[in-house]
């Protein structure tokens, strides 16, 4: 097994909003619109409550302007090392936590019949 480096990030939008006494996700909708970013209330809710996989630079800059912060205040890089194992078909490493990080590996079910 070879260790592979998993890169990720923590998203601190909710925290930065709270620092500016903004507790409703809908507070951001008109502020973003003033800066040319048109997002629905549902999209803003997901942006605040979940870690985004993709984010346009225009949206990021608008958030930074609204919250008077830098991108580093919203996005915190996080690196974690995890083990990988060879898959047998490709020879390349595969993530060891396919079970969602719960540490369990699926087993074939066994059926025992009473005789």
Identify the three-state secondary structure at position 90.
Answer: coil
Going 71 to 74 to 54 to 79, the CA torsion angle's sign is positive
The pTM score is 0.65
Q: How confident is the model at residue 108 (pLDDT cuts 50, 70, 90)?
A: confident
Domain spans, the chain: 2-77
Burial of 79 (0-12, 13-18, 19+ CB in 10 A): exposed
The span from the CA of 96 to the CA of 84, in Å, is 5
* 28-60 pLDDT per residue, tens: 999 999 999 999 999 999 999 999 999 999 999
| Residue-level pLDDT at 81 | 56
Tell me the CATH number for domain 2-77.
1.10.260
């Amino acid at each position: 097994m070879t260790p592979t480096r998993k890169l990720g990030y923590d998203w601190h939008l909710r925290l930065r909003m709270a620092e500016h006494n903004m507790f409703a996700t809908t507070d951001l909708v008109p502020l973003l619109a003033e800066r040319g970013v048109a997002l629905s209330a549902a999209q803003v809710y997901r942006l605040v409550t979940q870690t985004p996989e993709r984010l346009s630079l225009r949206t990021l800059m608008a958030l930074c302007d609204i919250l008077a912060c830098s991108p580093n205040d919203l996005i915190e890089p996080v690196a974690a090392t995890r083990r990988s194992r060879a898959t047998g078909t490709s020879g390349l490493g595969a993530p060891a936590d396919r079970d969602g990080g719960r540490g369990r590996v699926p087993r074939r079910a066994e059926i025992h019949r009473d005789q």
